[in-house]
Chains A and B, each alone.
Chain A
């Protein structure tokens, strides 16, 4: 409880002489960084709604919504994101936990493997995939694997993109997950759970995963943002998810429509992230409660 006491002392200190200066410093930083992000955004929004002839108009936005392929591209991107997140978490979470429990030496290997995609440019990945997809049908034409190759490239749901995105999201997701795992003593918590009658799977689902919620959400956010914004691989492989549609679909359109699409995609990503974070819920537990004073202070008095 000493922590709480010192925290309280600290806050009283904030309220003293140091506060105004600190507040001014913080305010400046807030204003500068807010301006850095907000000015281009506001300028974009103003550009899209302010027509030099007609004045204020939302026509740029209504045009997009009625544009060909907008909805299907957006849906495809969301489906791809969902599949990518699912595959990535199913692959990475058990691996990260297993490595913590069973093979601390393997941790370095897993870390390197998960970081490798960082050094492979998306263009190289796309080129590699193209080669495989071209080579595959020729050699597999008479085998049942031919259908696999076809299914991989189904334009309604290109599995190959999910596979590529899982690889590309690996470094981001791994870091997020690893940061969460670092805050836990996984081995001891697992043993404590098992000691309390939980089998291996139950121990993971009822003790480790709930404590990793923030990390899992982070990994999900990053993957979602990556999939929604990915252009290179999808474009080279000839599919039309949202990012590709933004570029191709708005090619012939007016400048204001192009910008409107960007603004929309930004808002969309933010909206989805917000939905995820509220859906994921906040931990109700982390604010120290101002309850029963004396018990806070003293150890073992009762």
Chain B
């Protein structure tokens, strides 16, 4: 998983960041009938950063974004942009450019007119409108497509135009509502990089809603994982992956094994696979049956004829191979290793499963 996006900051962003906006959700609550979409969301977005809102469907991430765009109003709490509460500002005065999940270009207007639509609404002169539209089409890499109509453009091109349209009014905040989810895999990758490049160039504070963890981790400066209307954790991608704050984050981001264990005398250690390991994060009561959360790349396998675990399958992933092992108690554990090393573990082989000497996350045992 690439996390380079988060660590390298271009010099242009540093200067422009001073003019970028901050966004803050304070105790925001929103319910639709009995369904609670946001349950006291607290989240602050730093100026000029790209923050991904990641979570399963129904976690409230889109509601949060739509609230910032002015399409939803909170039942309780404040939505602040640059320290000002914007909840009373109508959608058309929000100063937030949005790219929608479904293709949202106006079918009766050419690409250039779509881009210039906002400028027309602001009563800006034709010459200036054209110039700005041309500039934006250039920016999204479609300078020759200005006179095409939406139905003459591919999905990826439509989303680029939509991005140009969202940027036309020089909004303080850019909102991306799963803009890549309708596109095919290859286009998605190109556009991902393109969005990131543009966002950095313009140093515009950006919220990006996605349910695709790879997308979130590879693009965002920080990722906010949401669950049931609340923020679980907001951290840089590498931090999120290495030190998930909760069991939900641990399982939602990347793959996680759940291996049965038992807490020791004071709850700060856990016995698992015949070892005693320190507990990371929230602890459980002493002498409780728990589950230990371990990433597949942290699991060690040792070929051992006496071993009680059996290899049940292998999955080739390129440089890595994921080996599935069944422990003596029936627990299924996944281990990642280099494809070269994995050759020594054919299906049916007897193995011993080991864990490194690092603190581990624990979670309540599931029935």
Q: Annotate A281-302 by CB proximity to B: 1 below 8 A, 0 otherwise.
A: 0010110110110010001101
Q: In the complex the two chains form, is B142's CB within 8 Å of A189's CB?
A: no
How far in angstroms is the closest Cβ of chain A from B187? Answer: 5
Q: In the complex the two chains form, is A198's CB within 8 Å of B92's CB?
A: yes
Q: Interface size (B, Cβ < 8 Å)?
A: 48
Q: In the complex the two chains form, is B169's CB within 8 Å of A197's CB?
A: yes
**Which residues of chain B are within 8 angstroms of A11 by Cβ–Cβ distance?**
none
**Which residues of chain B are within 8 angstroms of A289 by Cβ–Cβ distance?**
147-148, 152
Q: In the complex the two chains form, is A300's CB within 8 Å of B97's CB?
A: no
A300: contacting residue among B69, B143, B156, B162, CB under 8 A = B156
How far in angstroms is the closest Cβ of chain B from A32? Answer: 34
When A2-B154, A189-B104, A285-B108 are in contact, do A295 and B144 touch as well, CB less than 8 Å? yes
**Which residues of chain A are within 8 angstroms of B169 by Cβ–Cβ distance?**
196-197
Which residues of B in the span 130-157 have a Cβ within 8 Å of any Cβ on A? 141-145, 147-149, 151-154, 156-157
Asked whether B313 is an interface residue with its Cβ less than 8 Å from the other chain, the reply is no
B189's nearest neighbour on chain A, judged by CB, is: A300
Asked whether A185 is an interface residue with its Cβ less than 8 Å from the other chain, the reply is yes
Bound Cα distance from A196 to B71, whole angstroms: 13
Q: In the complex the two chains form, is A300's CB within 8 Å of B117's CB?
A: no
Q: In the complex the two chains form, is A211's CB within 8 Å of B108's CB?
A: yes
Q: In the complex the two chains form, is A191's CB within 8 Å of B141's CB?
A: no
Asked whether A210 is an interface residue with its Cβ less than 8 Å from the other chain, the reply is yes
Q: In the complex the two chains form, is B151's CB within 8 Å of A286's CB?
A: yes
Q: Annotate A198-237 by CB proximity to B: 1 below 8 A, 0 otherwise.
A: 1100110011001101000000000000000000000000
Asked whether A188 is an interface residue with its Cβ less than 8 Å from the other chain, the reply is yes
Bound Cα distance from A289 to B151, whole angstroms: 11
Q: In the complex the two chains form, is A197's CB within 8 Å of B118's CB?
A: yes
B92: contacting residue among A185, A194, A285, CB under 8 A = A194
Q: In the complex the two chains form, is B108's CB within 8 Å of A198's CB?
A: no
Q: In the complex the two chains form, is B154's CB within 8 Å of A197's CB?
A: no
Q: In the complex the two chains form, is B121's CB within 8 Å of A202's CB?
A: yes
Q: Interface size (A, Cβ < 8 Å)?
A: 34
Q: In the complex the two chains form, is A195's CB within 8 Å of B145's CB?
A: no
Bound Cα distance from A288 to B154, whole angstroms: 13
Asked whether A1 is an interface residue with its Cβ less than 8 Å from the other chain, the reply is yes
**Which residues of chain B are within 8 angstroms of A197 by Cβ–Cβ distance?**
92-93, 118, 121-122, 169
Q: In the complex the two chains form, is A288's CB within 8 Å of B152's CB?
A: yes
Bound Cα distance from A288 to B149, whole angstroms: 9
**Which residues of chain B are within 8 angstroms of A189 by Cβ–Cβ distance?**
104, 106
Bound Cα distance from A283 to B150, whole angstroms: 14
B191's nearest neighbour on chain A, judged by CB, is: A300
Asked whether B203 is an interface residue with its Cβ less than 8 Å from the other chain, the reply is no
Task: Given A194-B91, A195-B96, A289-B147, output 8 extra A-B contacts at Cβ < 8 Å.
Answer: A1-B153, A4-B152, A194-B70, A197-B92, A199-B90, A211-B106, A285-B110, A300-B191
| Sampled A-B contacts (9; CB under 8 Å) | A192-B104, A194-B71, A197-B118, A203-B92, A289-B148, A295-B144, A299-B154, A299-B190, A300-B157
- List the interface of chain B (C-beta within 8 A of A): 69-71, 90-94, 96-98, 100, 102, 104-108, 110, 117-118, 121-122, 141-145, 147-149, 151-154, 156-157, 160, 162, 165-166, 168-169, 186-187, 190-191, 194
